[in-house]
Amino acid sequence: MTRTAIVTGAGTGIGAATARTLASSCDVLVLVGRRAEKLANVAAEIADINPDAITHVQSVDLTDVTAVEGFADWVKQSLPNIDILVNNAGSTQPRFQGGLQDVSDVWETTLRGNLMSVVLTTEALLDQISTPGGRIVIVGSFAAQFGNGSIAYSAAKAALQTYAVSLTRTQGPRGITCNVVAPGYTADTELVIGRISQERHEQLISAIAVGRAAVSQEIANVIEFLASPGASFVSGQTVTANGGVMFPG
């Protein structure tokens, strides 16, 4: 059975790991992100994993309405359908510099990068998702539950959970499931590398029951399950993969 997957933010970290993982079960993969070079590197890795897979690279700014509309037109013309949509693209929260205008700018930038990018992409592609059997997986964050010092980022990720529940209600009758994966501290992503001090790293690790950070592949494994036929009765859920942060001592 031919399966087609679109993975956003596929150039690095969780998105790249997810694309490589889905390459074993999908015949067509579309890698979406801003940096074509990073996407091309992942496409080359996929060619080694599954030489028969057809991989497309699409450089798209998913916060831009016109760009998303153009991407949706390409999808409609190039793909018969979408079986799996993994919304992984996101961004960090800029630092507050001070002043109410800066508060407004930081919130708008963060919400657009982490919430609206998902909403725009999903709404633009909904009509192309397979019915029945389509899978929408959104990558959220444990920050939605616990906060992480980046208030706007946490709020954006929390809103994704509500959006997923709404999608479940509207798309469930079409046979499409929608779930959120909320990763905990994942140390090999661009959100972390070079951005976390050793003190902060140790603080985060101390709150994780298993005593370590995640790696992107572990989050990709959860996404793979939710995107699989085996998850046909799982919808409207937030699956938290955080190593036990929910159970502090």
DSSP assignments along 52-96, one per residue: T-EEEEEE--TT-HHHHHHHHHHHHHH-S-BSEEEE----PPPPP
Catalytically active residues, by annotation: 153
Burial of 152 (0-12, 13-18, 19+ CB in 10 A): buried
Question: Sheet containing 135-139: which strands, arranged edge to edge?
Answer: 54-59, 28-33, 4-8, 84-87, 135-139, 177-183, 238-241
Q: Give the whole-angstrom CA distance, residue 3 versus residue 179.
A: 19
| Matching residue, tokens 């085996």 | 230
Per-residue pLDDT of the chain (249 residues; tens, 9 = 90+): 679 999 999 999 999 999 999 999 999 999 999 999 999 999 999 999 999 999 999 999 999 999 999 999 999 999 989 999 999 998 887 788 889 999 999 999 999 999 999 999 999 999 999 999 999 999 999 988 887 668 999 999 999 999 999 999 999 999 999 999 999 988 888 776 766 778 888 888 888 889 999 999 999 999 999 999 999 999 999 999 999 986 654
Contact residues for 135 (Cβ-Cβ < 8 A; gap 6+): 83, 84, 85, 176, 177, 178, 226, 227, 228, 231
Looking at the structure, give the CATH architecture of the domain made up of residues 4-184+217-240: 3-Layer(aba) Sandwich (3.40)
Domain ranges of the chain: 4-184+217-240
Answer yes or no: are the C-beta atoms of 178 and 138 closer than 8 Å: yes
Q: Model pTM?
A: 0.93
